[in-house]
Structure 1
Amino acid sequence: MQVNRVQFLDGFRFILSLWVVLAHFYTLVGGVMFIPLPRLLEGFNRPIIAVYGFMAITGFLMTYNYMSREHKEPVNRKSTFLKFWLRRLFRLYPVYILLLTIAFISFTKNAKVNEENLIFFTGSNVSQWGFVRSVAQPSIPDFIHTSYLSTAFFLVSMTVSWV
């Protein structure tokens, strides 16, 4: 049995994602008022390092998995590249579309519906599908904004591996 040399990265990604979830939960419940963090742990409440670390590792793993399938699908074929992205699309985006629909429905029930709000949130969410991140404008749901970063790391890794 061959040992997977990158298996530890999955554990590290889990730790980083747990950091993000706990930091968001801590902020959501108003943790600062109940359990103030010591000076050394204040960075815990700003999980941007965990997000970028997670995305960098994800980009590497995407490239690693893409290249490791070379014995099944030659990496220099356009069909391999297309299959890779179609698998990724059908694995990630159905859940995203479902959550986006739920968020949109809950938004329209709980907020003042007018043309400006609909244009703002629709445009902000659609911009998440590309490499443009609208940092100044929060959107519902805002979790997919990191997808562009893992894709960027993947493209950089692929470019470096082909050179």
Structure 2
Amino acid sequence: MGILPKCFGFSDSKQTTSSLYANKYSTQIEELCHRFSLAQLQKSSNFDGSQIIGRGDFGKVYKGCICIQGVAKEIALKRFESNYSKVVSEFYTEIKLLCQLGPPNLVSLIGFCSEKDQNISVCEYMSNGSLADHLLGNRWEPLPWKRRIEICIV
């Protein structure tokens, strides 16, 4: 990443629509990670029910595959389903934090799409499941507390 962002966090001014957020923050985010077009992401995943790999407070996560620098890469696409200002704010906050911090125990952000009232984050696909799967024991035994603490310390 290596690029220092021009701004940490949002200003105090109130934004009420997706387009205001997009205009204000897309340029800052583009300095930090790749911007995908909606057409590119629709080719990688058609966003149907068979490709859902997770659900969150703001939308569904789909599995896809995209060609990056000539190499096919499995990806996870988090599609924010609402266009309310709170959800759009959450989208831009998530993108900025993942770009700036790059936490070692969290998924790596590849890029994003903010186009035609669609807000989608593009992350590496984690074949071993999500952190929630491991903490809650959805698919495996829950992580022991000692390992959880080790992850927090890193």
TM range (shorter): under 0.3
Flag the structure with higher helix content: 1
Flag the structure with higher strand content: 2
Which protein has greater RCO, CA pairs closer than 8 Å, 6+ apart? 1
Q: TM-score, structure 1 length as denominator?
A: 0.24
Q: Which has the larger radius of gyration?
A: 1
